[in-house]
């Protein structure tokens, strides 16, 4: 590529990156403003963070959100990993394909459809709307992504590994806990993290299946944003930004760590 066009390309990505980040930076900058609108910056202050930490209702909602995210991710990771094993062990290619397409229905279907259909489902089963309906829905829409994160690792695993273990007298349970699970562990961790982010990010499904008493952060932000601007939300954005930044860093640290150890192992095998 010629020099000039690569300069043009760099200019282009700088502009797009600026556009991608301006809204986020704008939001966080105003969380430190002492004013009350997102129009004039009135000097640095932490009052909105103070308000945030004294807003007991919001803190309770924050804890609810985290609780739902963690619980649903644990359950969906377990069920999703079992599901990935099921898909992996499907004998016929056809049944594997069917399972995979059923699996991805919730991943591609629009949020409103998922929310509306879960609402019908819960009311026809007479499940009360609130914590449990939200938790069950979150588990439900996180399972397929866990399956998709675990399955590639399972497919990578050579069957001779399992044969060797069985030949050496391992029981089915031992094969699973000593051979399969350690091998697919990076996929499981990646699935768990994806599940957490799906849960934290969800608005539409929760909005449909949460009754009156229970709220998560997304739903709360929505109802507050409909009333107009309150810089307390900006402060909340600041904190959530730091939170997601930490999640991203932890996630990539685990990913890279896994990759580098794998690379080391590969090297060892080559030198042998």
Partner 1 sequence: MKRSFRAMFYTPYFLWLALFVIAPVGLIFYYSFFNIRHQFTFDNYATFFSSGTYLTMTANSVLYAFLITLISLVISYPMALVISRLRHRDLWILLVILPTWINLLLKAYAFIGLLSHDGLVNQLFGLVGIPAQHMLFTDASFILVASYIQIPFMILPIYNSLTDISDSYIKASHDLGATNWQTLTKVIFPMTMPGVKSGIQIVFIPSLSLFMLSRLIGGNKIITLGTAVEEHFLTTMNWGMGSTIGVVLIIAMVIAMMLTNTQRKRRRQA
Enumerate residues 187-226 that contact partner 1 by CB under 8 A. 197, 200-201, 203-204, 207-208, 217-218, 221-222, 225-226
Q: Give the nearer residue to partner 1 in terms of CB position, either 75 or 186.
A: 75
- 42 near partner 1, rule: CB under 8 A: no
Window 107-166: residues binding partner 1 (CB under 8 A): 108-121, 124, 136, 139-140, 143
In the complex with partner 1, the residue whose CB is nearer, 2 or 271, is 2
If one asks whether residue 20 binds partner 1 (CB under 8 A), the answer comes out as yes
Contact 117, 53 (CB under 8 A): no
Give whichever of 142 and 186 is closer to partner 1, judged by the CB atom: 142
Contact residue for partner 1 among 55, 96, 241, 258 (CB under 8 A): 241
- Pick out residues in 64-93 that bind partner 1 (CB under 8 A): 78-80, 82-83, 85-86, 89
Q: Is 58 in the site for partner 1 (CB under 8 A)?
A: no
Of the candidate residues 61, 148, 188, 233, the single one contacting partner 1 (CB under 8 A): 233
Rule CB under 8 A: choose which of 71, 127, 240, 254 binds partner 1: 240
């Amino acid at each position: 590529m010629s020099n000039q066009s690569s300069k043009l390309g760099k200019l282009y990505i700088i502009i797009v990156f600026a556009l991608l980040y301006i809204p986020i930076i704008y939001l966080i900058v105003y969380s430190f403003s002492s004013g009350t609108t997102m129009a004039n910056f009135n000097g640095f202050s932490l009052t909105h963070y103070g308000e945030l930490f004294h807003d007991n209702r919001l803190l309770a909602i924050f804890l609810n959100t985290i609780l739902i995210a963690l619980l649903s991710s644990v359950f969906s990771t377990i069920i999703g990993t079992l599901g990935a094993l099921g898909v992996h062990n499907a004998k016929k290619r056809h049944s594997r394909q069917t399972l995979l397409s059923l699996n991805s229905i919730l991943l591609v279907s629009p949020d409103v459809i998922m929310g509306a259909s879960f609402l019908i489902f819960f009311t026809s089963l007479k499940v009360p709307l609130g914590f449990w309906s939200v938790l069950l829905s979150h588990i439900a829409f996180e399972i397929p992504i866990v399956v998709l994160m675990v399955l590639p690792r399972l497919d990578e695993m050579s069957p001779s590994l399992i044969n060797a273990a069985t030949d050496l007298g391992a029981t089915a349970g031992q094969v699973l806990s000593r051979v399969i699970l350690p091998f697919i562990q990076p996929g499981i961790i990646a699935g768990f993290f994806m599940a957490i982010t799906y849960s934290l990010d969800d608005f539409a499904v929760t909005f449909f299946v949460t009754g009156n008493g229970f709220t998560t952060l997304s739903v709360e932000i929505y109802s507050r944003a409909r009333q107009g601007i309150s810089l307390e939300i900006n402060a909340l954005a600041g904190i959530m930004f730091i939170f997601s930044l930490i999640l991203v860093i932890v996630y990539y640290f685990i990913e890279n760590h896994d990759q580098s150890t794998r690379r080391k192992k590969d090297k060892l095998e080559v030198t042998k």
